[in-house]
């Protein structure tokens, strides 16, 4: 993939490189490295279950549905009809509530900065609720709350993202149609334990489904086509990408470490049972974006990701290469990050179906394949270091650079059904007293010291005044009035929740120094 | 990078060792560039160190531990980056109240500069967001130091320091300004001798470091105290924070619109200025312009010896950002409106001809409208909280004048006359 985007500016270099690589290739060919006799990888990398061995039925994951448990619904339902504002309903909603959106066209950005909200579209006789950004609005749905569900929306013509999350855990994003929305279709970031399933996405100029800096993720049963990248797992761990249909993107499925991000690893990723077909779309990525460097015709691209296992995918008709395994050094538009390990290590290519790939390889790939005396692009190509990687049934494929891969010690990932957590991620456990302490020191102490006068009267004085009456403090700080000539009037602390206010008041009455 | 860290820590270490050698023999000749402070020979009992932690900290056995509502939350891998209810990066705390208070006196004391005219507070003024209001700071002998003074708010959460990310602790960082000839222009020898010749400081250091091995003040103790004070500058109770903790009325409609633009993937501000600190502490190559007539600053290229990072700078926190104009590493933009506009004027539009910079992938062409730029500025205004601003001491143990905020008019005049340029 690497040199492609530099092709125009570095033509002569490319040709030089081709010659050098050709020479090296011949040399390597003669050395005849063959790792097939070496067994590589921990045979117990994936769970084994007794049931697997007994019934053939369990031996496939197709149709299996991973779930995140939600609490039984006993919230309120807020219904939004065509012509009304979804955001207004979200603002009304409390944790645990559901916002139901009836068919209609909604032209707004909906943001959800609270926990436990379900945003659900109602589809009536094939009519969907449509979020339409009219090429003017930035994002359709932004969320930061935990336990967020969004489903059954058609989202189109936004400039930024369809659905974007920052730091919400236990998210479910399912059954949405996201069409021509700009940069990313579905983009959860900094989240733990999330599902992206049954979505259809097309016309996205970067990754249609982009999982960035997340953990414990399940991406399944989505259809992505006509995008620059279909599905991208980036700087994330413990992810399964299964049963998706990625076709006619520039690149089908990507597993990346992108340098320069605060979380710097990608590992433990399973890509299985996907159809990765004819990903030959012209690259229409924004100049300078990392995906702008992806050569069209790329089925699966692994860059710097570790412990990535590919099993039972159907990878066909990708005109450059079926699978590319590379490192940061060979990638375009990238700055090396000294804190990010640049190689793709411990890659395992188990049994997959691959044919008819490499009909029109890009020049760099073509040059490499010439060393193998082939005019076609490969099913599998590896450039850059890849330690402890392995493959099964290597003789089935046209390959480059994987001769030294060992033979995998395991042949299935199906024992590992999901990396979703058994119990949803809970908020940090914190007692009311601790919360009171955080508020007291984090806020009250700005004006009240224990026994000296600061902006407000000392805590000791307040203790004498409100002995055993924390509610009195709460009432006062919620709606303060000027009491003392020698002190400024206190600003209201009503931005703190009732719970925090009472906890802070109790702590203030108890504090001893 | 690791090698670099080792080299850096070796440097720090050798200076510390050096200082111990010095304190054993204080008869070494000292050259003062100017007359030393007058009141340094007698212990001034008016100076006492606080036994209380500054606001924001809980005192547990005479160690100050930060308390913040953000400690209700988690963050992935404790990186302190994420969304609204996300924990902060690991904090530097646990200093004693006395160390923090001593650090405050040192911070405002011009004794720490070679010619006894500049203190840390000369370029980090409390009422200017702990910056100095200048495009680039003015150091000793009215020299333009080349880069803008960064805010000190919330440095307790940072792991990289300087615009070019070349230091990895506050102790390591302060060696730069203290000993740079362009900045405070003192030397380890001068610093340690001046403090050791001051009876008041001798007493205060003994109080702050009761278990000190040496009877003399050591450089390490100086660094620790200043670090302790800097790490106490906490700003986490802005209106934005009220919103983040769940009080959505804290922001106006315009400001919420600004927040949504800020985190949208069109403007992409939050991708690098990630909450809750509003920085992800990475290096980014923006291709932002230098002030007229100034050459391109190569920034982190030098630190990492990596041409890919040419003109790359550390992503700064945006907390209290309205207080720290002008903006960018060399103060190119006078106000926030111009600064946010930079990001929508075209990818690489300000890269000098002939320069090839590997611009960050989030630098693109978001085509923000005038209205959106205004709303971004509105939102940035919600990140202000100075409720924990420390007291400026009226006098310091050296007896030298505490000139915070007074030098500045002089400096600006100097600036205009020397540079022929409006700051």
Q: Write down the domain spans for chain A.
A: 1-62+225-328+343-427, 65-182, 432-510
- The catalytic position among B171, B183, B230, B257 is B183
CB of A87 within 8 Å of any CB in chain B? no
Where does residue A484 rank: exposed (0-12), middle (13-18), buried (19+ CB within 10 A)?
A: exposed
Nearest chain A residue (CA) to B262: A138
Contact: A449, B267; criterion CB under 8 Å: no
SS3 A309: strand
> Distance between CA B148 and CA B138 in Å, rounded?
9
> Which stretches of chain B score pLDDT less than 70?
1-41, 405-423
Note the pLDDT of residue B423: 38
Determine contact: A450 vs chain B, CB below 8 A: yes
* A chain contacts of residue B280, beta-carbon cutoff 8 Å: 261-262
Q: Tell me: do B53 and B105 sit in the same domain.
A: yes
Which of B59, B77, B281 is opposite residue A513, by nearest beta carbon? B59
Of A184, A339, A438, the CB nearest to B68: A438
The dihedral formed by the CA atoms of A413, A415, A416 and A418, expressed in degrees to the nearest 10: 120
Interface of A with B in 331-360 (CB under 8 A): 333, 335-336, 338-339
Taking an 8 Å cut-off on Cβ atoms, the answer to whether B79 and A440 are in contact is: no
Give the pLDDT of residue A189: 95
Strands (E), B323-395: none
State residue B417 phi and psi, 5-degree precision. -75, -40
Q: Which of B6, B83, B286 to mutate to test the interface with A (most CBs of A within 10 A)?
A: B83
Instruction: Check residue A48 and give its pLDDT.
Output: 74
Q: Are A266 and A307 in contact (CB under 8 A)?
A: no
For residue A433, the tally of other CB atoms under 10 A from its CB is: 12
DSSP string, A241-298: EES-EEESSSEEEEEE--TTSSS---EEEEEES-EEE-------PPTT-GGGGPPSSE
The residue among A318, A289, A322 whose CA lies nearest residue A205 is: A289
Kindly state the average pLDDT of the residues A7-17: 46
Q: Are residues B127 and B92 in the same domain?
A: yes
**Chain A closest CA to B262's CA: distance in Å?**
10
Q: What range defines the domain where residue B283 resides?
A: 239-383
Of residues B12, B319, B290, B286, the one with CA closest to residue B150: B319
CATH of the domain at B66: 1.10.760.10
With 80 as the cut, is the pLDDT of residue A204 above it?
A: yes
- The CATH number that domain A432-510 falls under is 1.10.760.10
Distance CA A8, CA B90 (A): 45
- CA-closest candidate to residue A251, choices A198, A296, A288, A185: A296
Mean of all residue pLDDT scores within chain A? 89
Do B180 and B299 lie in a common domain? no
Residues B243 and B231 in one domain: no
Chain B residue nearest residue A258, CA to CA: B361
Question: pLDDT for A270-283, tens place per residue?
Answer: 999 999 999 999 99
pLDDT value for A488: 86
Q: Which residues of B touch A142 (CB under 8 A)?
A: 260, 263-264
B318 within a domain of the structure (yes/no): yes
List the beta bridge partners of residue A131. Answer: A106, A155
Q: How far is A119 from B357, CA to CA, in rounded Å?
A: 43
A435 touches chain B (CB under 8 A): yes
B183 catalytic per annotation: yes
Residue B138 lies in a domain: yes
Instruction: Compare CB distances from A160 to B1, B84, B264 and report the shortest one's residue.
Output: B264
CB under 8 Å to B350, separation ≥6 — which residues?
Answer: B287, B288, B289, B342
Determine contact, residues A394/A373, Cβ cutoff 8 Å: no
B360 contacts in chain A (CB < 8 Å): 260
The pLDDT of residue A313 is above 70: yes
The closest CB to that of A159, out of B1, B73, B266, belongs to B266
Residue with tokens 């709606």: A479
Buried/exposed B236-266: b ≥16 CB within 10 Å, e otherwise? bbbbbbbbbbbbeebbeeebbbbbbbbbbbb
**For residue B204, is it within any domain?**
yes
- Inter-residue contact B121 to A229 (CB < 8 Å): no
> Is B14 domain-assigned?
no
The pLDDT of A140-165, averaged and rounded, is 96
Q: Report which of A64, A68, A57, A56 is spatially closest to residue A416, judged by C-alpha positions.
A: A64
Find, among B227, B80, B94, the residue nearest to B161 by Cα. B227
Minimum CA–CA partner of B86 in chain A: A167
Q: Contact at 8 Å (CB) between A430 and B47?
A: no
Residues B394 and B350 reside in one and the same domain: no
Separation in Å, CA of B43 to nearest CA in chain A: 25
**Strands A207-212 vs A229-234: parallel, antiparallel or unpaired:** parallel
B396 φ/ψ angles, rounded to the nearest 5 degrees: -120, 160
Looking at the structure, tell me whether residues B111 and B96 fall in a common domain.
Answer: yes
Q: What is the CA radius of gyration of chain A?
A: 28
B5 in any annotated domain: no
Please give the average per-residue pLDDT across A440-458, as a whole number: 89
Name chain B contacts of A496, Cβ cutoff 8 Å.
245, 247
Both tokens of residue B403?
């000139």
Q: Do B72 and A445 touch (CB under 8 A)?
A: no
pLDDT over threshold 70, residue A486 = yes
Task: Give the pLDDT mean for A252-273.
Answer: 95
DSSP-derived letter for residue A416 is -
Residues B74 and B206 in one domain: yes
Q: Do residues B276 and B399 both lie within one domain?
A: no
- Per-residue pLDDT band for A4 (boundaries 50, 70, 90) equals very low
Number of domains in chain B: 2
For the residues A245-255, what does the mean pLDDT come to?
98
Residue A476 in contact with partner chain B when CB distance is under 8 A: no
Q: What is the pLDDT of residues A179-189, one digit of tens each?
A: 999 899 999 99
Q: What average pLDDT does this structure show over A468-476? A: 94
pLDDT at A180: 94
B283 and B301 co-located in one domain: yes
* CB neighbours of residue A65 within 10 Å: 13
Q: Is A263 on the interface with B (CB under 8 A)?
A: yes
Q: What is the pLDDT of residue A289?
A: 85
Do B400 and B353 reside in the same domain of the chain?
A: no
Shared domain check, B137 and B260 = no
Residue A482 has a pLDDT of 84
Instruction: Assign A116 a pLDDT band (cuts: 50, 70, 90).
Output: very high
Q: Judge whether B3 lies within some domain.
A: no
Q: Is residue B53 part of a domain?
A: yes
Distance CA B84, CA B275 (A): 6
Q: Which residue has the higher pLDDT, A239 or A498?
A: A239
What's the CA gap between A477 and B5, in Å, rounded? Answer: 49
Phi, psi of B291 (to 5 degrees): -60, 155
Cross-chain residue pair B361–A138, CB shorter than 8 Å: no
H helix or E strand, kind and range, residue B413: helix B407-419
Residue B19 belongs to some domain of the structure: no
Chain A residues within an 8 Å CB radius of B249: 495
Residue B302, token pair as written in the block: 């030098």
**Together in a domain, B280 and B170:** no
Encoding tokens for residue A193?
Answer: 């334990």
Q: How does pLDDT run across A45-82, given as a tens digit for each residue?
A: 888 754 444 444 444 444 456 788 888 999 999 999 99
For B306, the closest of A164, A189, A336 (CB atoms) is A336
The torsion defined by the Cα of B138, B144, B148 and B153, in degrees rounded to 10, comes to: -30
Evaluate whether B353 touches B82 at the Cβ level (below 8 Å): no
Chain B residue closest in CA terms to A496: B247
Please give the radius of gyration of chain B, using alpha carbons only, rounded to the nearest integer.
Answer: 22
């Amino acid at each position: 993939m690497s040199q492609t985007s530099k092709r125009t500016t570095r033509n002569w270099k490319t040709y030089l490189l081709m010659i050098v690589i050709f020479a090296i290739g011949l040399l390597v060919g003669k050395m005849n490295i063959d790792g097939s006799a070496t067994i590589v990888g921990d045979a117990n990398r994936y769970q084994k279950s007794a049931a697997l061995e007994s019934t053939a039925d369990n031996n496939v994951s197709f149709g299996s549905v991973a779930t995140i448990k939600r609490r039984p619904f006993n919230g309120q339902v807020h219904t939004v009809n065509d012509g009304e504002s979804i955001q207004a309903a979200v603002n009304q909603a409390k944790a645990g509530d559901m916002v139901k959106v009836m068919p209609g066209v909604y032209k707004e950005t909906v943001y959800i900065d609270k926990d436990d909200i379900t945003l659900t579209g109602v589809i009536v006789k094939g009519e969907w609720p449509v979020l339409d950004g009219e090429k003017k609005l930035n994002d359709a749905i932004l969320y930061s709350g935990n336990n967020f569900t969004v489903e059954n929306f058609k989202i189109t013509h936004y400039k930024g993202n369809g659905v974007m999350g920052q730091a919400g855990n236990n998210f479910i994003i399912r059954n949405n149609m996201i069409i021509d929305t700009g940069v990313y279709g579905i983009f959860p970031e900094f989240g733990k334990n999330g599902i992206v399933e049954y979505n259809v996405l097309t016309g996205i100029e970067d990754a249609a489904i982009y999982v960035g800096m997340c953990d414990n993720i399940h991406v399944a049963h989505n259809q992505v086509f006509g995008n620059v990248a279909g599905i991208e797992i980036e700087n994330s761990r413990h992810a399964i990408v299964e049963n998706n249909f990625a076709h006619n993107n520039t690149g089908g499925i990507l597993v990346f470490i992108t340098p320069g991000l605060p979380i710097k690893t990608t590992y433990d990723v399973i890509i299985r049972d996907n159809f990765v077909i004819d990903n030959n779309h012209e690259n229409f990525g924004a100049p300078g974006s990392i995906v702008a460097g992806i050569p069209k015709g790329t089925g699966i691209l692994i860059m710097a990701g570790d412990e990535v296992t590919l099993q039972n995918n159907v990878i066909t008709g990708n005109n450059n290469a079926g699978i590319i395994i590379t490192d940061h050094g060979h990638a375009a538009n990238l700055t090396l990050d000294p804190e990010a390990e640049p190689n793709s290590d411990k890659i395992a290519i188990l049994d997959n179906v691959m044919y008819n790939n490499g009909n029109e390889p890009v020049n760099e790939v073509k040059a490499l394949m010439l060393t193998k005396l082939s005019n076609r692009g490969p099913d599998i190509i590896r450039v850059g270091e890849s330690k402890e990687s392995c493959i099964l049934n290597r003789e089935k494929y046209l390959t480059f650079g994987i001769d030294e891969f060992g033979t995998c010690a395991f042949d299935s990932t199906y024992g590992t059904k999901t990396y979703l957590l058994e119990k949803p991620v809970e908020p940090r456990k914190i007692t009311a007293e601790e919360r009171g302490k955080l508020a007291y020191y984090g806020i009250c102490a700005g004006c009240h010291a224990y026994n000296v006068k600061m902006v407000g009267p000392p805590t000791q004085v307040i203790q004498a005044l409100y002995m055993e009456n924390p509610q009195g403090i709460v009432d006062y700080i919620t709606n303060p009035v000027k009491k003392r000539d020698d002190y400024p009037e206190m600003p209201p602390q009503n931005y703190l929740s009732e719970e925090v206010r009472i906890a802070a008041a109790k702590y203030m009455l108890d504090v001893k120094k | 990078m690791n090698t670099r860290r080792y080299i850096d820590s070796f440097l720090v270490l050798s200076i510390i060792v050096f200082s111990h050698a010095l304190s054993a023999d204080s008869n070494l000749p000292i050259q003062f560039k100017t007359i030393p402070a007058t009141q340094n020979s007698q212990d001034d009992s008016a100076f006492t160190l606080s036994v209380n932690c500054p606001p924001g900290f809980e005192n547990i056995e005479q160690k100050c531990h930060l308390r913040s509502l953000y400690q209700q939350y988690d963050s992935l891998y404790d990186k302190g980056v994420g969304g609204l209810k996300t924990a902060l990066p690991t904090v530097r705390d646990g200093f004693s109240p006395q160390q923090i208070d001593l650090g405050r006196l040192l911070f405002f004391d011009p004794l720490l500069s070679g010619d006894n005219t500049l203190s840390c507070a000369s370029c980090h003024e409390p009422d200017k967001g702990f910056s100095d209001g200048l495009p680039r700071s003015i150091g000793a002998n009215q020299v333009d130091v080349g880069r803008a003074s960064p805010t000190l708010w919330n440095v307790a959460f940072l792991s990289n320091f300087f615009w070019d990310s070349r230091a990895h602790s506050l102790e390591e960082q302060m060696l730069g300004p203290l000993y740079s000839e362009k900045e405070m222009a003192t030397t380890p020898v001068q610093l340690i001798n001046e403090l050791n010749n001051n009876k008041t400081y001798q007493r205060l250091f003994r109080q702050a470091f009761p278990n000190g091995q040496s009877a003399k003040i050591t450089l390490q103790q100086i660094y620790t105290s200043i670090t302790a004070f800097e790490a106490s500058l906490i700003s986490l109770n802005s209106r934005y924070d009220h919103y983040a903790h769940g009080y959505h009325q804290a922001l106006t409609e315009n400001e919420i619109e600004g927040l949504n633009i800020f985190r949208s993937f069109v403007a992409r501000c939050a991708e690098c200025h990630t909450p809750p600190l509003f920085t992800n502490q990475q290096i980014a190559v923006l291709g932002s312009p230098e002030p007229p007539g100034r050459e391109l600053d190569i920034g982190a290229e030098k630190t990492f010896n990596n041409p890919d990072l040419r003109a790359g700078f550390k992503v700064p926190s945006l907390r209290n950002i309205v207080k720290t104009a002008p903006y960018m590493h060399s103060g190119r933009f006078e106000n926030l409106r111009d600064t946010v506009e930079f990001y929508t004027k075209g990818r690489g539009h300000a890269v000098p001809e002939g320069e090839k910079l590997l611009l960050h992938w989030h630098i693109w062409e978001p085509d923000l409208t005038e209205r959106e730029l205004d709303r971004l500025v509105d939102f940035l205004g919600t990140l202000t909280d100075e409720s924990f601003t420390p007291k400026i001491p009226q006098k310091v143990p050296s007896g030298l004048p505490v000139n915070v905020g007074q030098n500045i008019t002089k400096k600006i005049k100097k600036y205009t006359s020397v540079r022929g340029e409006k700051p």
